[in-house]
Structure 1
Amino acid sequence: MDSNMDLKQHQEARQRAVALGRSQDPAALPELVQLLKTPSADVQRLAASAIGKLSGFGADGSMAVEALAPVALHDPHPQTRQYALKALKTYGAYAEAWLDELDDLAARPNRKDYIPVAAAAAARTIREAVQHREQQKERCCLKCGQRVAFDEFERSMRLFQRIYCDKCFDETCVKRRNWETGVEEKKNIKTVDGTLVQSSGEKKIADWLAKAGLDYRYDGRLRILEGFQIRPDFYLPQFDVYIEYWGMDTPRYKAGMYLKQDLYQKTGKKLISLYPADQPDLDGTLGKKLKQFGWNPARQDRSI
């Protein structure tokens, strides 16, 4: 916890932000705007992400942009800014007035290189939405080939960054929801800190991270390149490092593994790859690799 909120308030605010983001209810926007003002960077990050999720469901674009833009451009916490920038992008032309400041941020050196990258991506998407609005370019659904109206284009770009007609948008929403439900149902192995994971290998990694005193996020979404959205096994915010556990050996699984690894490499993400053979000695594999990114076990290790 990174604020002066007490633990109970902090947990309640986090859970509320997540629930509102999943609600698909645009009426939740005002409450999320208030959560974005809390003193906790963790809650602010979740609130920004939730506001972005509501963009595809009719949330008030002007209200959302007014709340997100100052956070995206000036918040002192890099990850909060990153999530706000990603959310701002989903509101397209509503954020037109902030393009100059986004351009400045994209060109400004930053010790967290993902900040200017996120600012540049937001500016590109916003400009495309503005251009479409002004020129009314002809667009076609990527699935059925039908022409899409501007409101269909804007709605699909907000949620998927792809162009769908309303019919294909709804079908894609249902497909994604069913897939995500299936993923959640596979998480039935509890780690030492209570996280539910999908495999014994992931449990060993999670338990090792907890014992080492390292905060992590499990199975969170990460958009890396246009057209691809992946779910890293583990993310360590303190070091901006991703951990993937490659636990299978089938041709199809390996094809997905190579694609994911290529995406990490192309976008300059810090990735630690682990395999079943690494499990017996995580101190010698995961621990050694983390030291290369600045981890000091003497300062953080804690027994469980």
Structure 2
Amino acid sequence: MRRYMFLIAVATLGALLAGCGSVRPDDTASDGSLDRMDWDRDPGTIIVRLDARGTSATPAESLNAIPPCTLWGDGRVVWVTSGGSGQEQVLEARATDDTMRVFLQDIINRGFYTWEDELIPAEAGTGVTQTVSIYLYDELHTVQRSSNWPANGFDTILARCEQLSETPVLVLPWAGWVSAYPIERDDRLPHWYWPEDLDFTPADLVANGEARWLHGEPVEEIWGVLRDTVNRVQVIGPDEQAYELALAVPGISRDAAAPPPGEDHPRPTATPQDTPVPTPIPATEDAAS
């Protein structure tokens, strides 16, 4: 019954938006307040996530991959882009309530709740599965496709998600879960040697099949190595074996476990970065009517 009422509410809102044309942050109700759409404001609740998973990704690649864009209930938004030299950058910002409301209304107005999963899955080994998930009114709705999104929906929503704030900062996490996977050593590639002062090694992680909680400067170094997808730096352990590392950061990474008991939640240490300031999200003049 609750889901039935939810779908009626979504359909009604969609019809209202279609009839009104574009939606602007200053659209008000009769009592002067903004539109009544609301969401769970908990900082740990994901309201919108756009994700992409490669069908041939290794375990480390899956753990290291940051979803293209995620928006939490308190307005925190994290997305991925490329720096000037091609290295992957993870950016963080905070969106206002008005901007979030416009963004959510725009997604609905595009017909999101009428989209269906693609019947043919992504090609094994070479394909990428993309998903758009929205959590509203206690209901999680996800659409999964590998191509042919209605009205180029995935790319369009992603572009708007990346423009929810004019003041992004570069994410530099201070803590996370580190795991290791042995790979064949290639001396043609640049190397990063495991810090000698740590009380465990990549070989220990492999032997125990575990991820170890790590914080401080080594985390920033590992994060930099993993984000440098251009140079493909290899990690060399004290045993001279090459390893592929994974770093899962709570509040940033897709599948990161919660911090150990007694540890503060590892909010990323963000520093201003000098990439061009994104353009604020526009009104929905190009949304489907």
| TM-score normalised by L of structure 1 | 0.21
Pick the structure with greater CA Rg.
2
The structure in which a higher percent of residues are helix is 1
| Larger RCO: 1 or 2 (CA < 8 Å, sep 6+) | 2
| TM-score normalised by L of structure 2 | 0.22
The structure in which a higher percent of residues are strand is 2
